[in-house]
């Protein structure tokens, strides 16, 4: 099928520290593992296992600040460049964006384990105090480590500390449709999207297989199954099950995917990989607010979507 302009980019969000608050930006450089800086850091327990809001909802209140120039294509940090971290009741934590030196082994996120770069004692003490449990802040070591995406859905691609895939896209129309079912409308921050688009019908993204954002081509590899984090208010860290219960009523696998074996999941949004990430080319590799989103290929119904 031909190229159809279906939507435009409304918001771009980057989450440097897994499960902490995201940063809304005007533009973001695209890499093979996701937006630059996205989920490059993670908080781990004394056994190297990830902490997320599922178990520690107060991570929702941890704010991350970056130099604005960090999202300009080609920018490289100097020895003075820092990520600034804030949380209620805590002093400022500054983490150098220049690579730390110490390595730590046996860091794990879901099924993957490997080594990472340790951000040191000050960051460890800060997060241990805030969470109330022994913690360390670690950085993905892309020089020595690879974390592959599920080959059943996206063979040959990789990510850093995101749950499964490099990018997550949701339409504003889908959020608006959900909010019509909820007693209290919720903002998009519940869904941890990287790209929010507008101008398309609710859940149009279910059908998309290949899309172009500006001049960059992405494959939509899997509907995003939603977890407990969508129930956590990102301003208060308090959970309310209404979101999941409501999605169960019209976005469950039994409803959307009647020909597939039910897994007890609810879905909202599409996981993406950057299709031409290994192809070179001279075009700017940045996504900006307002960029057009074209659909290159789509399925005819949600029942045909990968999930």
Of 145, 175, 195, which residue is a domain's last? 145
- Asked whether residue 244 is assigned to any structural domain, the reply reads yes
**Angle formed by the axes of helices 242-250 and 172-179, to 10°?**
100
Residues 167 and 290 in one domain: yes
Tens of pLDDT, residue by residue over 55-93, are 999 999 999 999 999 999 999 999 999 999 999 999 999
Report residue 71 as tokens. Answer: 């999202």
In the chain, the number of structural domains is 2
Cβ atoms of 250 and 181 within 8 Å: the answer is: yes
- Please, what is the average pLDDT of the chain? 94
Of 145, 163, 184, which residue is a domain's last? 145
- Asked whether residue 20 is assigned to any structural domain, the reply reads no
Q: Which DSSP helix (H) or strand (E) runs through 154?
A: helix 151-154
**What is the residue range of 170's domain?**
4-15+150-304
- Nearest alpha-carbon partner for 126 in 82, 85, 83: 85
Tens of pLDDT, residue by residue over 188-209, are 999 999 999 999 999 999 999 9
- Percent share of the chain, pLDDT over 70: 97
Report residue 36 as tokens. Answer: 């630059």
Residues 178 and 257 in one domain: yes
Residues 90 and 210 in one domain: no
- Asked whether residue 88 is assigned to any structural domain, the reply reads yes
Determine the average pLDDT of the residues in 33-45.
Answer: 97
- Cβ neighbours of residue 117 closer than 8 Å, sequence gap 6 or more: 99, 100, 101, 102, 103, 104, 138, 139, 140, 141
Confidence grade of residue 179 (pLDDT, cut at 50, 70, 90): very high
- Asked whether residue 72 is assigned to any structural domain, the reply reads yes
Residues 90 and 218 in one domain: no
Of 145, 178, 195, which residue is a domain's last? 145
| Rounded-to-integer distance, Cα 147 and Cα 158, Å | 5
For the cut 70, the answer to whether the pLDDT of residue 1 exceeds it is: no
Residues 10 and 75 in one domain: no
- Nearest alpha-carbon partner for 230 in 189, 182, 176: 189
Tens of pLDDT, residue by residue over 119-156, are 999 999 999 999 999 999 999 999 999 999 999 999 99
Beta strands across the sheet bearing 103-109:
41-44, 136-139, 112-118, 103-109
Long-range interactions of 212-215: CB distance < 8 A, separation 24+: 212/3, 212/293, 212/294, 212/296, 213/9, 213/287, 213/291, 213/292, 213/293, 214/286, 214/287, 214/288, 214/291, 214/292, 215/283, 215/284
| Helices and strands: H and E segment counts in the chain | 5, 20
Does the pTM surpass 0.85? The reply is yes
Tens of pLDDT, residue by residue over 271-293, are 999 998 776 545 679 999 999 99
Query: How buried is residue 252: exposed, middle or buried, by Cβ count under 10 Å (0-12/13-18/19+)?
Result: middle
């Amino acid at each position: 099928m031909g190229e159809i302009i279906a939507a435009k980019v409304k918001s771009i969000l980057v989450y440097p520290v897994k499960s902490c608050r995201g940063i809304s930006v005007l533009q973001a450089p695209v890499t093979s593992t996701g937006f630059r800086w996205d989920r490059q850091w993670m908080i781990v327990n004394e056994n190297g296992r990830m902490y997320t809001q599922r178990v520690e909802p107060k991570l929702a209140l941890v704010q991350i600040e970056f130099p604005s120039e960090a999202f300009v294509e080609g920018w490289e940090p100097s020895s003075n460049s820092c990520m600034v971290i804030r949380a209620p009741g805590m002093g400022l934590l500054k983490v150098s964006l220049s690579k730390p030196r110490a390595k730590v082994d046996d860091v794990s996120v879901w099924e993957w384990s490997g080594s990472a770069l340790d951000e040191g004692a000050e960051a460890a003490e800060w997060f241990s105090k805030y969470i109330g449990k022994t913690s360390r802040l670690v950085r993905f070591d892309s020089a020595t480590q690879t974390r592959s995406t599920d080959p059943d859905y996206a063979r040959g691609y990789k990510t850093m500390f995101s749950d499964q895939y490099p990018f997550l896209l949701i339409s504003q129309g889908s959020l608006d449709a959900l909010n019509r079912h909820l007693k209290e409308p919720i903002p998009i921050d519940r869904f941890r999207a990287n790209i929010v688009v507008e101008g398309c019908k609710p859940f149009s993204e279910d059908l998309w297989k290949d899309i172009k954002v500006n001049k960059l081509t992405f494959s939509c590899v899997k509907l995003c199954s939603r977890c407990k984090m969508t129930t956590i208010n990102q301003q208060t860290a308090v959970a309310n099950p209404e979101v999941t219960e409501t999605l169960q009523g019209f976005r469950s696998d039994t409803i959307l995917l009647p020909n597939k074996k039910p897994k007890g999941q609810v879905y909202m949004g599409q996981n993406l990989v950057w299709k031409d990430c290994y192809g070179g080319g001279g075009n700017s590799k940045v996504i900006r607010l307002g960029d057009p989103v074209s659909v290159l290929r789509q399925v005819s119904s949600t029942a045909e979507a990968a999930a």
